[in-house]
Amino acid sequence: MFKFSRLSGSELVALSSTFALTISKGLKADELIPLGRFFSSVSKNIDIIATTKIVDIVEEAIIEEAIVEDGNIKDKRNSNQFIEDEFIDDELIDDIEFL
C-alpha cells in the first residue's frame, strides 16, 4: 500500500491539489459543494481513527511497562520515552504531544 507518511508536506499539498483539480473538472459549483463536504468528512474520520490508534498504542505501552504486584503498580518506566523509543515513528510524536 502507498505510504503517505513518506511524502514531504509540499508533495502532499501538490498531490491533494492535483487530485482536487482532477475530480472537480467539469463539475458545477452545486456539485462541488457536497463533494467538498464529503471529503472533509472523510478527512475528519481518518483523523479520529488515527488518534484512536495512537491512544490505544499509548495505553498498551503504559500497561506493558508497569510492574504490577498484588494488583498495584510498583514501578513504571517513563511512559513517554518508552512510547517514543518503541512504538511511535518520529513523525507521529508531534501528533501525540498535540493530544
CA R_g for the chain: 20
The string of pLDDT tens digits covering residues 48-87 is: 888 888 877 777 766 666 555 555 555 555 555 555 555 5
User: Domain limits of the chain?
Assistant: 43-99
Neighbours of 83 (CB within 10 A): 21
The residue among 24 and 64 whose pLDDT is bigger is 24
Cα separation values, 8 from 4, 16, 44, 79, 98, Å: 9, 12, 21, 29, 20
Entry pTM: 0.53
